[in-house]
């Protein structure tokens, strides 16, 4: 099998129609639609202080963590993160009488090594194929229909990074994994390589066990971060994060501190260093979702070629790709920084001490 071709699609056998609960039918439908992980979390009406059980966090706790993060200014220029924090923390504010969150995940690990030759830029793995928002959108829409078939009077709302929902929290609650010290969800089955989506619903479904934190004393992701953006375990200061600087930050190059520019190395969109470092990636299987395989200029992004793109060419080359999120001006700024880092000598792309599954593997 060529490394660019995804493996054959999984076969999820049909469920017998008798004696199966609505919860099981919905989960099974999710797998048949091509999601790789699915779980259910219950939303307690009026959840508040007192709802805290070991390893669990109440609405108040969630609000407090979000509030602290915003108060520190860790969201940088992402003002949309500061809008309606209560709504973001509480699904019942998004969907009246929300009782369950169906959390789904898709594995995007392709094991296609980035082109590390000099003069090439690096695009984060999640963004090398088609835009996952679209991939999720279609599947979630179909899953919503299945849910309404199973529970006819229920209401639903679907999201995949598209709304005010704390997706990692709900995925953890629904048993898809745990929130690692790099602050992303780690799946025991797929490591760091799960993208997340969810459907909020008024249907009362059977909940799964929340995922247990398996980080232990490990700190590999914190040590792997080139900029020190993981300011404490589980907390990322976006202003120092290369993913933020290359995807979300809308300012010009002068607005980015010189040392951060240097540490950005050849990354032109996103950053995977903390994810790469996680030992739980060691057994991660390659995805069967063709959409996540590298395409177009994201396969081996030639910096000089990228720098010469007109706005129209940029739009055409990255049609249907998450890279469009940076906008033409942001992407050109990123490419200019990466080119500057090429000369006279590029700084190391990551701090020493990162673990298995790290970028060093690709250079071998």
Starting from the edge strand earliest in sequence, which strands make up the sheet with 194-201, in order?
Answer: 37-42, 100-107, 194-201, 156-159
- Choose one: 46-54, 182-190, 201-209, 325-333; the region binding ligand B12 (CB under 6 A): 182-190
Among 26, 92, 103, 195, binds ligand B12 (CB under 6 A): 195
First vs last Cα of the chain: how many Å apart?
Answer: 21
Q: In this structure, what token pair is assigned to residue 250?
A: 């809308």
Q: Which of 111, 161, 252, 259 is catalytic?
A: 161
Among 104, 143, 196, 309, binds ligand B12 (CB under 6 A): 196
Alpha carbons 328 and 325: distance in angstroms, whole number: 9
List for the chain the helix, strand, coil content (%; round to 5). Answer: 40, 10, 50
Among 42, 85, 189, 234, binds ligand B12 (CB under 6 A): 234
- For residues 174 and 39, the answer to whether their CB atoms sit within 8 Å is yes
Q: Which residue matches tokens 């609960």?
A: 21
Among 27, 99, 128, 182, binds ligand B12 (CB under 6 A): 182
Half-sphere exposure of 291 (CA within 13 A, CB side): 18
**276-295 positions binding ligand SF4, by CB under 6 A:** 277-280
- Cis preceding linkage at 50, omega within 30: no
- Choose one: 230-238, 292-300, 308-316, 328-336; the region binding ligand B12 (CB under 6 A): 230-238
- Nearest in space to 135 (alpha carbons), one of 102, 161, 112: 161
Is 360 designated active site?
Answer: no
- For residue 284, the minimal CB distance to ligand SF4 (Å) is 12
Catalytic (active-site) positions: 161
Chain residues binding ligand SF4 by CB under 6 A are: 180-182, 186, 215, 218-221, 224-225, 227, 229-230, 236, 241-243, 271, 273-274, 277-280
Chain residues binding ligand B12 by CB under 6 A are: 62, 65-66, 69, 78, 81, 124, 126, 160-161, 165-169, 179, 182-185, 194-196, 213, 234-236, 238, 241, 243-244, 247-248, 270-272, 274-275
């Amino acid at each position: 099998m060529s490394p660019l071709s995804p493996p054959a699609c999984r076969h999820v056998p049909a469920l017998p129609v008798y004696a199966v609960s609505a919860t099981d039918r919905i989960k099974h439908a999710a797998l048949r639609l091509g999601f790789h992980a699915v779980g259910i979390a219950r939303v307690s009406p009026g959840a508040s202080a007192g709802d805290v059980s070991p390893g669990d966090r109440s609405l108040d706790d969630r609000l407090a963590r979000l509030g602290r993060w915003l108060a520190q200014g860790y969201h940088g220029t992402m003002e949309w993160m500061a809008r309606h924090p209560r709504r973001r923390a509480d699904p019942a504010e998004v969907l009246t009488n929300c009782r369950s969150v169906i959390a789904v995940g898709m594995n995007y690990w392709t094991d296609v090594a980035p082109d590390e030759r000099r003069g090439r830029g690096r695009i984060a793995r999640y963004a090398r194929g088609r835009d996952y928002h679209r991939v999720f959108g279609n599947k979630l829409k179909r899953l919503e229909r299945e849910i309404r078939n199973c529970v006819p009077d229920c209401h639903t709302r679907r999201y995949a990074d598209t709304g005010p929902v704390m997706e990692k929290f709900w995925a953890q609650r629904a048993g898809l994994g745990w929130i690692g010290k790099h602050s992303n969800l780690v799946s025991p089955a797929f490591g760091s390589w799960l993208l997340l989506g969810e459907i909020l619903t008024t249907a009362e479904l059977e909940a799964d066990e929340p995922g247990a934190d398996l980080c232990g004393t490990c700190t590999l992701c914190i040590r792997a971060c080139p900029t020190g953006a993981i300011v404490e375990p589980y907390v990322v200061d976006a202003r120092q994060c290369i993913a933020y600087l290359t995807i979300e930050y809308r300012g010009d190059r002068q607005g980015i501190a010189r040392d951060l520019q240097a540490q950005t190395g050849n990354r032109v969109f996103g950053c995977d260093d903390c994810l790469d470092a996680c030992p739980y990636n060691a057994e991660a299987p390659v995805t069967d979702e063709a959409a996540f395989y590298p395409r177009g200029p994201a396969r081996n992004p030639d910096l000089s070629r990228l720098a010469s793109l007109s706005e129209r060419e940029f739009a055409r080359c990255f049609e249907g790709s998450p890279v469009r999120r940076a906008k033409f001006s942001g992407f050109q700024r990123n490419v200019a920084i990466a080119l500057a880092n090429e000369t006279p000598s590029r700084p190391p792309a990551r701090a020493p001490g990162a673990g298995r599954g790290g970028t060093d593997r690709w250079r071998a």
